[in-house]
Every structure is written in structure tokens, then in C-alpha cells.
Amino acid sequence: MENVETSIPARFESIARLHPERLAVKDGGQSLTYDQLNRAANLIAHAVLSQRGATSEPIPLLFQHGIDMFPAILGVLKAGKFYLGLDPSLPDERQARMLADSGASLLLSNSRGERLANPKLRRSMGRTRRVSCILQDRQERPRVSYAPTRISCLTASSTAG
């Protein structure tokens, strides 16, 4: 029987070690192997850790659906954080309220997501990091402990007000 009492990053890393060249994610003409996805997630995790430290907190992700979203999600989890997925198609007020409610001070995006965000939303964040601009060469696994019981995702529901 498989051990399910491991964290998402730990399970992913064990798969990446076993099958580094296998296809992990494909979207249209873009694809990532497990090794490529793991390396990209490690880059993002180190960038998040350098900006925010190792405490657990929400990191909003603003992406148009696509392949860039996967390393960002995994990188946030590897940094010991949890992610809040923002949908660029939501009304500006809804996105701003979700950000304010989360208390986040770092937003991860890609160039497409950043173009879709309204200027007020971008200004409301303390820091915005574009995933494609995270160019650190540290691709080793970040030294963060992530328990299987740790929060992975923050979901906001529609509410009146």
C-alpha cells in the first residue's frame, strides 16, 4: 500500500526522482518533464523564500490558464506557503477583495497574467514577481519542512458585500 501521509512537494519529488524524463505537464505546444518542472519549481521556491522567508502565508497566483501555472503552484508549496489562485477574468473589485482578505504581500504572475491585471490591483500588492523573471541558478530543493497537514491552497467563495 502506498504511503499517503506525505506532503504534496515530497510526493512530487519522489516521482521526479523516479521518472525525470517523463512528461509531467503538456499544454498545447508546451511541455515540461518531471525534472524540468521540479527545477522550475525550485527556482520559484527560492525566489519566494528570499522575498518572504519560511513562514506559512498565502501567495496569490495570477495566471491565464497555461503551463506556467504548474511550476508556480509547486514552487509556492515547496517554499512552505499556500497559494491563492486569482482568475484574471474575475471583476477587478472581486480580485482586489480576495487580495485584501488574504493579507498577502507578494503576487506571482506571468506576463500574460500581469497584462490582464488592472493597474490598481498591481499597485495594491507590495511586490509582484513575474515567474519568467525569476532567474536564480539555485535549482536544488529548498530546505523547508512541509508537513502533509499543512495548508496548500486558499479558496475564496463568492459572498455578498
8-135 CATH: 3.40.50.980
> What's the rounded Cα separation, in Å, for the pair 20 and 26?
15
- Locate all alpha helices (DSSP H) within the chain, ordered by sequence: 8-18, 34-52, 69-78, 92-102, 111-116, 119-124
Mean pLDDT of 16-28: 94
At 24-74, the pLDDT tens digits run 999 988 899 999 999 999 989 988 898 888 889 999 888 877 888 899 999
Mean pLDDT of 91-108: 83
pLDDT tier at 160 (50, 70, 90 boundaries)?
very low
> What's the rounded Cα separation, in Å, for the pair 139 and 35?
10
pTM greater than 0.75 (yes/no) = yes
* Structure confidence at residue 23 (pLDDT): 96
* Structure confidence at residue 156 (pLDDT): 61
At 101-149, the pLDDT tens digits run 888 888 888 766 666 565 555 555 555 555 544 433 445 555 566 666 6
pLDDT tier at 17 (50, 70, 90 boundaries)?
very high
For the chain, what are the domain ranges?
8-135
